[in-house]
Chains A and B, each alone.
Chain A
């Protein structure tokens, strides 16, 4: 909140901050290579073939877009939650171990960033396919002929692995800031491990949880390669639909309209989520 106040106070000052000049190259690059194309695509969605909301009407009425949009939001939410469940204990472990183990854990968490997304996704294809190692493993537990490639669980597994660092890192940085003496104090005042976790660690790590969840959720919404390779059209996400509009139909206005629908839906979900977390904070007394 402090940061926001600072920005909002800026117009009061007579002279602009000299540091803004340093931002100019980045802002210009963003304007030229991101803002301009994005705005022109959005503009075309409202103006072609004629001025108005015809593109949006078509999309909402085609019986496909809304369903895929809902699926994209649901899959992204699911991926965010699964990622959180895996990353939380991992990040917590990173704060409690010695420097050497921590270095290994950090390296493992960052490893996916250094490998090509394509290569990793193809590795999942091999692992998850019919008769592959995971199918074999499930066979040992009496689950026969499980093929995860081409299914929603397959897509979720692949996406969770790719997005794990986006959850681990914000969680770790928040948990690292938690004063360990609070934990000791709670224990010395008679709280058991579960109570200590619930009343001290969990509330204090909430900012990291929220940051991780929103980061993973937003990045997951735009996933393309992983659902294409690990899923099938039956579980296509919105990026694949936008891809078809652009690549096969060369319908840029409709693609733009789809992107805007996605943007609006994302904003609504994030706003709702933030509201809910604020309420949770009030009851949990985190601040």
Chain B
């Protein structure tokens, strides 16, 4: 008998807890609030301080945050009909792949899309800021004879030394391999994955693959890699912290952060308003002044210090040398690219 009673109490307790949890997520629907999700760290801090907090103040919206962006979590939320995220920073392929599935179409009114870089705008996606995957090399190591192209990255005979590259295929190692192998930028897509991997075979077992960009920055600052494929923002921060590295801009691989609204978000209106505020020249300038990511609105006129100006990848001197990642190809081929790259990296 007593055993039964404690069992009943326990069941009641568990039920009570789950009900409470369910109420908790429902109550978020009242009032004006917005939950923003990005990859955490300094980048998210800058987005919130320079963009969302000022916007929330003007619009009377309370901004809360979560991190990191997790596609599996997002898909599970949408599947379960319990979406607590309203505005999410994603990679460019994701909103094209998931348009109408886990993310909704965006209202482009009030946004000057002609001023945004080609390829960054689609039904479900608008850009946050731009960056490039570039080759950075240790100036002390290579001195008067520095590398000048991606081909040199793969040339261990001519340029001995340690190498670092992204572990994540969507960051662009396949593109870099093909460009190094002499593929013309105009003929880059569709990517010839086997050819790219064959190029990478030259560095098999000799390249340190970074999983997060903070690790890539650490690798530069601690001089772990003599040559590294890193994102422009991280290279700039490392240089600012005294790392003796220089960039190679030839064929730098331009990419960008996309902003999406999950399907089932209870705050679509607020999220749309936040996106409009994001893409104004003023917000774009403020973001670029506080972190080494490039403004995507060409009307933005940020006041940049020397290092940030040198790494502003949407400035004409750099962007004329850029190769832009094709988000549409990635949306269609991400699965097989991940599978084949994983097979190469883990064996």
User: Which residue of A has the minimal Cβ distance to B334?
Assistant: A248
Q: Is the CB of A24 within 8 A of B10?
A: yes
Smallest beta-carbon distance A49→chain B, Å: 14
In the complex, the answer to whether B223 meets A131 with C-beta atoms within 8 Å is yes
Report B's interface with A, CB cutoff 8 A. Answer: 2-7, 10-11, 13-14, 18, 70-72, 75, 162, 167-168, 170, 205, 208-209, 211, 215, 218, 222-224, 334-335, 338-339, 342-343, 345-347
Q: A21-B7, A130-B224, A250-B75 are known contacts. Are A64 and B342 too (CB-CB below 8 A)?
A: yes
Contact of B167 among A16, A63, A233, A249 (CB under 8 A): A233
- Check B71 against A244 for contact (C-beta < 8 Å): no
| 16 pairs of residues in contact across A and B, judged by CB atoms under 8 Å | A21-B5, A21-B6, A62-B339, A64-B343, A64-B346, A129-B222, A131-B223, A229-B211, A233-B209, A244-B338, A244-B342, A246-B72, A249-B338, A249-B339, A250-B72, A252-B72
**A38, chain B: closest CB distance, angstroms:** 15
The minimal Cβ–Cβ distance linking B79 to chain A, given in whole angstroms, is 10
- Write the residues of chain A forming the contact surface with B, with a CB cutoff of 8 angstroms: 16, 18, 20-22, 24-25, 28-29, 32, 62-64, 67-68, 125-126, 129-131, 147, 149-150, 228-229, 232-234, 236, 240-241, 244, 246-250, 252
Chain A residues, CB < 8 A from B168 = 248
When A247-B71, A247-B72, A248-B71 are in contact, do A234 and B6 touch as well, CB less than 8 Å? no
B346 touches A20 (CB 8 A): no
Question: Which residues of chain B are near A233, meaning CB under 8 Å?
Answer: 167, 209, 342, 345-346
Task: Give chain A residues whose Cβ lies under 8 Å from the Cβ of B71.
Answer: 247-248, 250
Q: Is the CB of A25 within 8 A of B10?
A: yes
Q: What is the predominant secondary structure among interface residues of chain A facing chain B?
A: helix
CB pair A21 B4 closer than 8 Å = yes
Residues of chain B lying within 8 A (CB to CB) of residue A25: 10, 13-14
7 tightest CB-CB pairs across the interface, nearest first? A21-B3, A233-B345, A21-B6, A25-B10, A24-B10, A236-B346, A24-B7
Contact check: which of A21, A32, A131, A252 meets B14 at CB < 8 Å?
A32
Could you tell me the distance between the alpha carbons of A264 and B99 in the complex, rounded to whole angstroms?
A: 38
Chain B hits for A249, CB < 8 A = 335, 338-339
Question: Which chain A residue shows the least CB distance to B97?
Answer: A250
- Residues in A with CB closer than 8 Å to B5 are 21
A228 to B208, CA, bound (A): 12
The answer on a CB contact under 8 Å between B72 and A234 is no
Chain B residues contacting A129 (CB-CB under 8 Å) are 222, 224
Contact call A130/B162, Cβ cutoff below 8 A: yes
B242 to chain A, nearest CB (A): 16
Task: State the CA gap A68–B342 with chains docked (Å).
Answer: 11
Partner of A29, one of B14, B224, B346: B14
A149 to B219, CA, bound (A): 11
Contacts of B345 in A (CB 8 A): 232-234, 236
